[in-house]
Chains A and B, each alone.
Chain A
Amino acid sequence: MEEPATPGEVPARPISIAIAAMGGQGGGVLANWIVTLAEQSGWLAQSTSVPGVAQRTGATLYYLELLPWSGGQAGHGTPPLALMPMPGDVDIVIAAEWMEAGRAIQRGLVTPERTTLIASTHRALSVQEKSVPGNGIADGGKVFEAARQAARSLVAADMAAIARRHGSVISAALFGALAASGAIPLPESRFEDAIRSTGVGVEASLAAFREAASGALAGADMARTGLAPRCAPEMVAGHSDVLTERLGQRVLSLLPAGVHELALAACRRLAEYQDTAYADEFLERIARFQGLGGIAVDGEAGEVLFEAALRRIAAAMTYDDVMRVADLKTRASRFDRLRREAGLERGQILVVTEYFHPRLEEVCGTLPRALGTFVEENRFLGWLLGRTFARGRRIRTDSLPGFLTLALLARWGRYRRGTLRHAREMQHIDDWLALVRRFAAKDARLAIEALHCRVLVKGYGDTLAGGRGKFERIMQAAQALEGRQDAADWVRRLRDIARKDEDGSKLDGALATVHSFLSESSRSPPG
């Protein structure tokens, strides 16, 4: 297989290749294939890496130089090859993850004079991005803009998906894209030979290699490079027959055309959560926003207000409680999904263990209002039940005792309206909406921001309590700000801070600012 390339003139410069990857992605496999490719073509090849501790999931870089020249023997007398990339002087950059492509561009490795950038558009989120409560995911579109300007040519596609489709590794897809890019002047068959000669998982690797190489790369699919910040309102999965004709008619007559689809989705969600009467209750709450402060139903401001109201009130009314979770956990469609997730075929057994840790509050919340209050206020019962629920529960939903218990709890949801939790939630919602309506009468923008603040109230246990606390504090600030020109802006600012603030300290700081300038302006009213 080995044949000497033309000895002749020493090329002025080697082909330099940087592979930007994360530890554990197998960047070394790709480097080995490239070295094999070059050596089997009679070229000189050298690769280096600095794995160090980066082998454990951190960002890392492999560097290769290939010299299309066979004039010398290995070692002495051959041109020395460099051991690290020099910014501005790299011919090919291969990024095994989209943000790593961004990092390579930032390091100056990608330049319009020289560099072919081959990158996988998939994302492996960093701890930094994942930890943010809310949405902290970096905008992949910005990497695309930078890549288009920085690279001489760009090959970008979801290489991880290609690899997955063929049960192979991302290196195989990247190697295919490298072959197709033409940046290394060798035929594709040579690339395939390099994969074959390593002898591990050859067929799967070749399949991924070929798909990546075969022109699937024309034009990157940018929709997949980042997570869309907000999804289009689509029909909620589940029962499609729950929406009666009557509800549909009511939506049409009540709301501006721009939000009909969202309103229908919301009604479906409500009906599916409880029943169609619950959707009616929802629409009644929405209806109370009509004609407030002269907001025209069909005007643009009306649409924005109704959109916010629909989105947030629907979410608030479908709060997460024990019955809701039990319902979601025992649906037939869920078990189908879990079997697919586990990759199980017929005749194979799936065991599903749920991790529940309901607390006393949640248990009391599911009881009828009077009983729940009684238990909460009775110290002995509280102590007894508190002990019972101090430990988490492992419930096997594939076993009949576990499944039937949860199915029964889900059924108890029919009586949700009578529970303590429901009474409290509705009270909370109605207090909030009364305030929002008061805002809407004078300042529609403030009302909209106050509606969106409800996004803070979510989850279970401590998360829910913390979120509710932040929500209440911002609502108080909103009332204090009411009447000011910048009230809506401040409420939005506070909400954005609160969404990314785990322990509430940043929100405290922002609220202190608000209160200080409010107390100042109360001393000297603006002229």
Chain B
Amino acid sequence: MHMTNSLSTRRSFLKRMAKLSAITAAATMFPGILFASEQEEGIPNSANLDWKKGPCRFCGVGCGILVGTENGKAVAVKGDPNSSVNKGLLCVKGYHQTMCIQSKDRLTHALVKKNGKYVKTPISEALDIVANKMKDTISAHGKDSVAMYTSGQSTIPEGYVASKLMKGAIGTNNLDCNARLCMASAVTGFLTTFGADEPMGCYEDIDHADYFITWGNNMAEMHPVLFSRMLEQKTRRGAKIIDFATRTTRSSTASDRSILFEPQTDLAVANAICYEIINNGWVNKSFVEKHCSFSKGLTNIGYGVEDKFKFTDKPEKIDFASYKEFLKDYTPEKVEKYSKVSAKDIKYLASIYGDPNKKVVSYWCMGMNQHTRGTWMNNLMYNIHLLTGKISQPGNGPFSLTGQPSACGTAREVGTFTHKLPHGVVMNEKDRRMAAKIWKVPYERIPAKPTYHATEMFRAVDRGDIKFIWTQATNPLVSLPKTSRYRPAMEKKSCFVVVSDVFPTPTSDVADVILPASWHIEKSGLYGNSERRTQHWDKMIEGPGDTTPDAWMFIEVAKRMGYGDLFPYSKENHVEEIYNEYRQFHEGAKHGMAPLEVLKKESGAIWPYVNGKSTQWRFNAKYDPACTNGEDFDFYGKPDGRAVIWQRPYEPAPEVPDSDYPFWLNTGRVIEHWHTGSMTRRIPVLHKAMPHAYAEFHPEDAKALGIRNGENIKVTSRRGSCVLPASINERGLPTKGQVFVPFFDENMMINDVTLDAFCPISKEPDYKKCAVKVEKA
């Protein structure tokens, strides 16, 4: 009796120990996925689900997800523990993403406007109408009267067939995408400094850095999973986070240090940091001598607020001495006067970048990109990292984050911009010849001149120059700046509007034909995230009604227009066939893409994918096989192998607060909603946590205006107005004299108020700065 008892206790003890050690091991590998038995009570068993891998549908972080399906329905989502991006963790949007598919107002059939009413129409008939309208418009008004506006949410095959149809088949460069509104300045920043787009580092930098400096970037809400990785390094290794911003946010609260600046003065502060680095002898001399050159461009470059605005920069080589002379205008003492950042804080930031024993990663996203000097600001960021040689090494580097799941993969790599081709630009004959050869079209058909960037495209619709526009996976009438102009523009009879989407939006409200698109997991596809990682997923469930993958709708229209021989893809397998064709554009050590077999098996691979290996740090000979100059670093994007340090001054914003419009207006996002909310607002968990937009005020401004929390107020600019409830010191706290409004709410259209000024180099609008007045509604 005694014996069996002790045996059983010993056995159960051993069993318990084994279980405990397994749990501990699992917990260290995938923290955050284990729950005590008491906590799982009431949760249905998930053992019978079929789990399939893919990337998350939302932001540019590109977390790996696993979707659990049962009887053809998606019923669960969890983080993919095999994905090195998120290691099993997601954010609240990611976990609940599939819940939007079942929304009652899902677009399940094509709708064609007849006599002012939408009539349910079979998809093939709707595609006939689209193809005929496109053909008729071209024959009546020429190739450049039709346009297509796609998305950083389009999959790689979708972007590729859009480009092939517009540029290769029809022969017009009237193709641009919503990534122009978020990533264009990052692209021009990379191209002007390095001659090659996209970050040199990768997310693994987080595991090595001593300091994270975020520039105008609320990562705790916008890139939460990356921020959680930073927090992990902060608690485990004592890494430091410094938040440099115009607004106190959740990220500021979590940081070691929060430094606030006056909007637009980031240009001056970045130059002041460079001044300090040089003045204190913190320049990495051998790195700069071997790998950098100095240039300056034009100044007083304008803001693009007028139609048909044109600008071309004229770069000019300069030497280190004249650059040093230029920086004398940016001593911390001079800059503190208008940046509202104390000279002490500027010196503190410079000392972190300047310390050769500290590894620093800088992160930024829309704060720098949506900036009328966005290209300059990106250049200045690189200056800091180039002067100190803190670049292209584990834990050291500037890192430009993206906002859309395939802003990199589709918009930037496939090139769904007016000036781009899958490889290179339309202005370059070699690139046009390459595209013509792979597409099997006459080389003369691809026009050498870019046409409309996003803002100008909608201005052209307003002017009546564009008579047919097809938008896909995007909602411009909520996301464009100054929608107060572009909504009436799109309502004009002069332009035939086709909208492909999953849900009705203010953009589909003005459509002549609405095409029902498949959602993410209802089709196969590929996305490319911020760290150059390409990720593939297979179709997981059937979509409802007539819903069709966007790529297939493009192909069907191309066939109906007589371009069938250029699009010989099969319905079942078109994603694979298109990707294999597309890969030819990027062959070689500089941009080789991983083969599909690898992407199907693994949770993504980083390009350049060379000899079966992802290249984690580009331009560094230790990691990047494309480096050929025999040195430690090779910036091979530039003909001389040198990265450019740019002399870029501070210039003011186009519209600054004055006595009539005394506040800055800043717009952005919240963690619960993604972009224009067409998906996230149809997810009950997210909508209930954040049911509508609001306007954040500084408590002192609110007191002076007599505004109480929750009270409706009217925000007015020279372009339009918007009524929203005031929010005083809740989610975020703007600096005094500033109002912040999230833009997700189509019922409270803050973009009616914003200004459509843009960076003259990148043509990316500035949504972060315009002047408004505020009154009680």
Q: Do A and B form a real pair?
A: no
